[in-house]
Structure 1
Amino acid sequence: MSDALTPERNHYAALDRRLLAATRAINILPTVAWPASLEQRMIAAYERGDYALPDVRYVRPELSQVRSELVAIENEAGTLLAGDPIGDYLCRTAASWRVATEMLEAVGSTGVTAPSIALYGRPGDAIPGSHRSNLDAARYFVELSDELGADLLADDVVTDISAETLRTDLGRTLDAFFGPGRIVVEVDPELTAKAAAGATRIRLRGGACFSEYDRHQLLAHEAFVHSLTALNGREQPLLASLARTSPRVTATQEGLAVFAELMSGAIDIARLKRISLRILAIDMALNGADFVEVYKYFRHCGQGAADSFHSAQRVFRGVPLTGGAAFAKDNVYLSGLLTVHTFFRWAFKQQRMDLLRHLFAGKLALHDVIALQPHFQAGTLLPPRWLPPWMQHVHGLAGKLAFSLFVNGIHMGKVQAEELRLNL
Structure 2
Amino acid sequence: MRARRRAMAQGLRRCGLRVIALAVAALLMLAGGEMTAAGEEKPDPRSEIGGLQSKFVDVNGVQARYYEAGAGEPMVMIHGGFTAGSSTANVFSRNIEGLAKRFHVFAVDRLASGMSGNPLKDDDYTYQGDVDFIYGFIQTLNLGPVHLVGHSAGGAIALYLAIEHPEAAKTLTILAMGPENPSPAPENKTRLDLSKCPDQSQYEGLQCRVAMLAWLPTTFDEEYWNADKFMATLPKSKEARAKLNAGAGRSFDFPAFKQKMLEKVREEGALQMPVLLVAGKNDVLDWGLNDEKAKLRGEMGLFEIIAAKNTKVQMIVITNGGHFMYREHPDEFNAYLTTFIDTWEKYPAAPAQGNFPKPPTNSSAPPRREIQPQTQPGVIPGRPQIGRQGM
For the pair shown, the structure with the greater C-alpha radius of gyration is 2
TM-score by length of structure 2 reads 0.25
Structure with the larger helix share: 1
Question: More relative contact order in 1 or in 2 (CA 8 Å, sep 6+)?
Answer: 1
